[in-house]
Amino acid sequence: MPAEAPRRDESLVTALAAGDPGALTELMHRYQRPLYGYLVRMLGSREDADDVFQETFLRVVRHAGRFDPSRRFRPWVYAIASNLIKNTYRARGNRASQSLEPHDEEGPSLLSTLVGRSREPSEAAQREESAERVRSAVERLPEKGRNALVLFYYQGLPYAEIAEVLEVPVGTVKSRIHNALGKLGHELASKEGLS
């Protein structure tokens, strides 16, 4: 007898809207690690990430009845979290969203950054790039670029889903990620004295 296929996220939201608390537990189990990681990276604080995680799922429960099952759950839940992150930034008085550059301006080309950083893979593996240095460099990116980058690189979302989360066209998403990676690579290389 074939094993039962796991229920899709969208089916679980429908079940949750019908009053099945087990569906909520399953959704939370599936999203606990990735969503918490996203929140910590965006907020820079475990305490705030903890709060926003709770608030995100509170909103999932509140709005489960309005979820359109023909849409995908993942960008929906990330969109809720992303909006709550913005609220948290506002509550902090925009301290966390301050960056080196006030706008999402174009930085160095990603291609030139990559070529400038080229080296043997063995060297790259041996480098002791501290997590703190990367975190600090990502934190200084403009908020829109940082969000797109974290969703793309660390959360592994495809462009189309990031566009749904951020409510912008796919081209804008690509542009933001491209700029963010270019700046990030340039800054990390600058700190190492590579450029």
Partner 1 sequence: MSSPDPEGLDLAALVRGDADAPPSPEAALGAAALRADLDQWSAPEPPADLAERTLARIALAAAAPPVHEPHSALEVLTTQPFAPAPGTKRRGLVIRLCVQALAACLLFGVSASFTAFVYPAVVHALEEGRLEACQLRLTRLARALEAYRNANPGADPLHGAALRRALIEGGFATAEDFVCPGAGGDLHGVDSFVGAKPGARDDYPVFWDRFGNHPQGFNVVYADARVELLDVNDLQLKPAGR
Stretch binding partner 1 (CB under 8 A), from 2-10, 16-24, 69-77: 16-24
Give whole-number Cα distances, 77 to 94, 126, 133, in Å: 23, 37, 29
183 binding partner 1? (CB under 8 A): no
By CB under 8 A, residue 69 contacts partner 1: no
Q: Does 193 bind partner 1 (CB under 8 A)?
A: no
Distances (CA, A) of 35 to 53, 66, 190: 7, 21, 31
Q: In which element (H, E) is residue 187 found?
A: helix 170-192
Cα distance between residue 91 and residue 83, in whole Å: 12
Q: Do 134 and 188 contact (CB within 8 A), yes or no? A: yes
Q: For partner 1, give the closer residue by CB, 75 or 180.
A: 180
Stretch that binds partner 1, among 1-9, 44-52, 74-82 (CB under 8 A): 44-52
Is residue 6 a contact point for partner 1 (CB under 8 A)? no
Q: Which of 50, 85, 101, 195 binds partner 1 (CB under 8 A)?
A: 50
Residue 144 CA, distance from chain mean position? 10
Nearest to 115 by CA among 180, 174, 182: 182
* Smaller CB separation from partner 1, 71 or 119: 119
By the rule CB under 8 A, 74 interacts with partner 1: no
Q: How many chain residues are in contact with partner 1, going by CB under 8 A?
A: 78
Residues 86-115 that bind partner 1 (CB under 8 A): 87-88, 90-92, 106, 109-111, 113-115
- Please, what sign has the CA dihedral across residues 33, 182, 167, 156? negative
Residues in 130-159 at the binding interface with partner 1, rule: CB under 8 A? 130-131, 133-135, 138, 152-154, 156
